[in-house]
Amino acid sequence: MTGKKIRVKGPATVSNLSCGFDVIGLALDEPFDIVDIELTDTGKVVIDDIRCSKTLSRDPEKNVVGAVLKAASALGGSRAGFRVSIDKGIRPGSGIGSSGASSAAAAFGANLLLGEIFTPAEMVRLAMEGERLASGSAHADNVAPALLGGITLVRSYDPLDIIELHVPPELFCVVIHPETEIKTSVARGLLDREVSLTTAVKQWGNLAGLVAGLFREDYDLIGRSLIDFVAEPKRSVLIKGFDQLKKTALECGALGAGISGSGPSVYALCRGRDSAVAVMKGMSGAMKSLGIRFDAYMSAVNRSGTQVC
């Protein structure tokens, strides 16, 4: 039925969690994007407005929301069109899933407007089309937790197999976002296309340890596993003060810390709200000492994912 409207909120996410490059991510309570979508019978996607961002294109061919809605119309076998306005609460290039949040919101909203015709896995695939446009890679480590909530593992991309992991009740996340931008495509370009067997074995061990730690609610094991031998050594050079920021987080009691997504945001996992407050205070102080403007967020793991708002 044309003329139906919906407002959807897609949350920020922290992907990779150090040892899980392109396969693991968690959803945050804030920040988030809000996407207003109206169903039309034009067969076209029209983006009327993008608030809080001067850099994103309203051309649906160049915007992740447009890419997702076009894919939804095609997959649904309909001539449905959509009119859209976007409120960008997550700055592009932040490393906390800006494109993923908008993509997830678009996939979730399209599914509801078209009569809930897509499975959760199909919605993830639709949202991945937004990521393909944004970074050249149709990865799911941001869009899966953004859509489903919690902490997710991409066991396989072909066929797509998303595993929802256990969320320990005291797990909190702190994110420090410097007021700089790192394009995902640039950050990906720094990575080696191949890694040594020795490096791979260490990384696999940490990823397995992280998953085990989550299910066992073993916070020490979670912390020991948050070590990245693949991306962080290459990407950390793009983030001014990264080493100091990570060191401060650990000194203030964080379980572990690292680069969120492709950066420049830096995340820290903590046990309990009080610990997270102390870690955020310490990391914020480190940023101020470096003279870098930043935003700071503290959140329990968002278990709801994308929602109507």
User: Which residue pairs, CB below 8 angstroms and at least 24 apart, start in 157-166?
Assistant: 160/121, 160/124, 160/125, 162/120, 162/121, 162/124, 165/24, 165/211, 165/214, 165/215, 166/214, 166/215, 166/217
The answer to whether the Cα torsion of 73, 120, 204, 210 is positive or negative is positive
Tokens representing residue 194 in the block: 């191949």
Task: Please check whether residue 35 is in contact with residue 68, taking contact to mean a CB–CB distance below 8 angstroms.
Answer: no
Please answer whether residues 308 and 262 qualify as being in contact, where contact means their C-beta atoms are separated by less than 8 angstroms: no
Which residue in the block uniquely carries the two structure tokens 């100091």? 244
Rounded Cα distance, 278 and 275, in Å: 5
The CA–CA distances, whole Å, from 111 to 41, 67, 176, 225 equal 16, 14, 33, 37
Strand positions, DSSP E, 88-221: 151-157, 160-165, 171-178
What is the rounded CA–CA span in Å between residue 172 and residue 95? 18
| Residue 158, φ and ψ in degrees, nearest 5 | -140, 95
Distance (Å) of CA 273 to CA 15, 26, 102 = 21, 17, 28
Residues labelled as active-site residues: 131, 184
272 CA to centre of own chain: 22
Phi then psi dihedrals of residue 172, to 5 deg: -125, 155
